[in-house]
Amino acid sequence: MIIYMRTEATKEEVNKVVKRAKEYGNSCDISKGDQIVIGIKGPTQRISEGYFAELPGVERVFRISKKWKEVSREYHPRDTIVNVNGIEIGKGLVIIAGPCTVESKKQMLETAKMVKEYGAHMLRGGAWKPRTSTYEFQGLGEEGLEYLVEAKQETGLPIVTEIMGAELIPLFEKYSVDVYQVGARNCQNFHLLKALSGINKPVLLKRGPAVTVDEYLCAAEYLFAGNGIKGGNKSIILCERGIKTFETATRNTTDINAMAWIKRYSHLPVIGDPSHATGLRELVPDISRAMVAAGADGLIIEAHYDPENALVDGQQSIRQELEGIIKQCSAIYEVIHQERNL
């Protein structure tokens, strides 16, 4: 249930609403801006809207019937900003770049230095890789985390890496992974999502290749809302990485509609992954620009110091093109956000 307070509502009036919500075993999220908005969560079906509407200072009361209440803009009208070691996702264009997979110490360090030089803000690289075939390279595991940490020490870039199962959380904590990536294949792994709803590190949730926007936001709700009343991880970043369609010219199809739709109806930051969306290095600059034009808060791009010899996803990995992409996308981002602020 959502309660919009009048702009002139006093602190006491807000406290009265909170007190009533708590009487029925609910808890409240208070969003402050020009107008105070109170989100009530818990067994709200036991209370009628009128119970709050009659209170002084209350302007409007309504129920959210969506299954993804807390990640909706109705619940939280302002943009959520996710802070990663001082880098704010949702406030300015954030670029995450690095190899698909951590292959060796040299590969990781060379690539990290390269993406830093071209202007990336964070470093990506998979230590555990979900591969379609069991015969393909699955990543270095813990050794991969060691190289990521070394690359972070060398460049200062926070690290983003994929967590394939809840049992890896202690290892991720040991290596102080900055952003836990949930890969497309695990988008609806509810056991993993529940486990990650209880950690205090940001989670980058990729959209599954055959997951609708509604199902995707339900998955995000698992992370954000936790068990409904308590807990929940409020640092969630969404990522459009292309979906399966009948098209075969590209690896996946970029769902630009979804990016714009989610930005409008959810308060969570949304980034784009032009590498997996296209699967083709030569399309990465074009689709990066399109994603930012559609409202992306950032991009996650596969880059490699020697893409021709990459063990995984070399055909979609870029090198010096990254510099131009960052320059062009920053300019597009500026134009869009100036317009929005007019």
Instruction: Give me the least distance between CB of 179 and ligand PEP, in Å please.
Output: 12
Instruction: Give me the least distance between CB of 256 and ligand PEP, in Å please.
Output: 16
Instruction: Give me the least distance between CB of 275 and ligand PEP, in Å please.
Output: 8
Confirm if 107 and 305 have CB atoms less than 8 A apart: yes
Find the part of the chain contacting ligand PEP (CB under 6 A) among 32-40, 134-142, 183-191, 318-326: 183-191
The torsion region of residue 299 among left (phi > 0), alpha (psi -120 to 50) and beta comes to beta
Of 43, 42, 55, 45, the residue nearest 3 (C-alpha): 55
**# residues near ligand PEP by CB under 6 A:** 10
Q: At what angle do helices 321-341 and 284-293 cross, to 10 degrees?
A: 10
Instruction: Give me the least distance between CB of 169 and ligand PEP, in Å please.
Output: 18
Under the criterion CB under 6 A, does residue 267 sit at the interface with ligand PEP? Answer: no
Find the part of the chain contacting ligand PEP (CB under 6 A) among 1-9, 165-173, 177-185, 214-222: 177-185
Site for ligand PEP in 184-213 (CB under 6 A): 184-185, 206
Site for ligand PEP in 90-129 (CB under 6 A): 100, 126
* AA letter at 214: D
Pick between residue 38 and residue 179 the one whose CB is nearest to ligand PEP.
Answer: 179
Instruction: Give me the least distance between CB of 161 and Mn ion, in Å please.
Output: 12
What does 39 bind: Mn ion, ligand PEP, none (CB cut-off 5 to 8 Å by kind)? none
Confirm if 280 and 250 have CB atoms less than 8 A apart: yes
Q: What is the DSSP letter of 295?
A: T
What does 232 bind: Mn ion, ligand PEP, none (CB cut-off 5 to 8 Å by kind)? none
Pick between residue 17 and residue 100 the one whose CB is nearest to Mn ion.
Answer: 100
Pick between residue 113 and residue 131 the one whose CB is nearest to ligand PEP.
Answer: 131
> For residue 242, with 0-12 CB atoms within 10 Å meaning exposed, 13-18 middle and 19 or more buried, which class applies?
buried
Residue 117 to residues 102, 156, 327, Cα–Cα distance (Å): 19, 12, 13
Per DSSP, the residues of 60-97 read: EEE---SS--TTBTTT--SPP-EEETTEEETTB-EEEE
Site for ligand PEP in 222-261 (CB under 6 A): 241
Under the criterion CB under 6 A, does residue 272 sit at the interface with ligand PEP? Answer: no
Return the beta strands (E) in 165-248 as ranges: 179-182, 203-206, 236-240
Residue 13 to residues 3, 25, 40, 270, Cα–Cα distance (Å): 12, 19, 15, 35
Question: What does the binding site for ligand PEP look like in residue numbers (CB under 6 A)?
Answer: 100, 126, 130, 183-185, 206, 241, 273, 276
